[in-house]
Structure 1
Amino acid sequence: MAFSAALRSRHFALVGLMGAGKTSVGRLLASRLGLPFHDSDEAVTHAAGLSIAELFEHQGEPAFRALERAALMRLLAGEPSVIATGGGAVTESETREALRSKAFTIWLDATPAILASRLADSDERPLLAHGDPEVVLDRLAEQRRPFYATADLRVRTDELDAAEVAKLIIATLR
């Protein structure tokens, strides 16, 4: 696929709340662009030897964010790829700056109600373990929106499946 030289030398990083489709879309996007795919959550759990829920429980969110930042720095130091970031990765200023300088960022955005319905059967989201998931997601959306809004591209995913989102991103990048 023909992109400008500036895009060919950069990563494509997907940002957004949990359930927005970063991993599903990222895998399809990477395949269609002929690039490697990386999931920062998988990189963190692989490096730590613990699940995200275990990391949150035993070490806390700040320790998880430090591991996430380190994983993203390693990924961003490599060859161009598609990276699905963790939903809260953008809360770290160092991570935001690295994404801004090394990646074309794509905000996958959906309403908290849609996200809550997508995540209804998931028990692997520690931030949703306590309280109504839609209320928690609404609060997270409010806190993180200013960070997500700095992305190079915003795609609403509410009514789209992963294949449609990947197709829309590619059409936008041409």
Structure 2
Amino acid sequence: MWACGSATRNLAPEKLNALSTTIAFVGLPGSGKSTIGRQLARRLDVRFFDSDFVIERRIGCSIREFFEREGEAAFRDIEQEVVGELMQNGVCVLSTGGGVVLRQMNRDNLLQRCQTVYLHSAPEEVFRRLRHDQNRPLLQVADPLARLYELYAARDSLYRECAHFVVETGRPSVSTLVNMILMQLELAGVVPAHG
């Protein structure tokens, strides 16, 4: 659904101001949403928001602690509120939590109010990245790889439902992925073509 572009490019500052929408990232936990989103925001010279970070500031503790204390439903309520607010911040790049798509309202907002990029990662790939991460509440189980397969089976179609672009993360470097995403955004007219 996209083409490869590997040359490092920086868009001219006068062209960056033409960006008129939020670019949001969805995908499994550990698919690279924050890392890639942060670099894309730098390249576009726009603000970057990580919804999980904003949520943690609001609740005053880690998401893992909140999950243990209040449960997933309470977390999803706060997540929906925060993501909705972040989409109203004007032009920015937004990294969402892996479960944001579980709520229909979030999927509708991602589709209608953003240009949404689904960073598609195989469960094995995500497991390699996250196997030592103790801060992912949904992966604190006896068999995290099996849990990732469950999350993928439950969420892949939901990510696709709200995505304007699907990007296979595979093995490319972060900078290559950012270039590929920029190319797709340019081809779609979301950001001005580099020229």
TM-score range, shorter chain: over 0.9
Greater share of residues in helix: 1
Q: Does 1:10 align with 2:21?
A: yes
Counterpart in 1 of 2:46?
A: 35
Q: Which amino acid aligns with 1:164?
A: T
Whole-Å Cα distance in 2 between the matches of residues 47 and 163 of structure 1? 31
CA offset digits 1:71-101 (Å, max 9, x no partner):
1011011111000000000111111111111
How big is the shift at 1:161?
Answer: 2.4
Instruction: Work out which of the residue numbers 113, 120, 129 in structure 2 matches 1:109.
Output: 120
How big is the shift at 1:9?
Answer: 2.1
How big is the shift at 1:130?
Answer: 1.1
Q: Does 1:65 align with 2:63?
A: no
Identity over aligned pairs, percent: 35
Moved over 4 A (4+): none
CA offset digits 1:29-51 (Å, max 9, x no partner):
00001110000000100000010
Higher Cα Rg: structure 1 or 2?
Answer: 2
What TM-score do you get using the length of structure 1 for normalisation? 0.94
Q: Does 1:137 align with 2:180?
A: no
Root-mean-square deviation over aligned CA pairs: 1.2
Counterpart in 2 of 1:163?
A: 175
Whole-Å Cα distance in 2 between the matches of residues 115 and 132 of structure 1? 14
What TM-score do you get using the length of structure 2 for normalisation? 0.84
Counterpart in 1 of 2:93?
A: 82
SS of equivalent to 2:90: coil
Gaps of 5+ in 1: none
Gaps of 5+ in 2: 1-10, 187-195
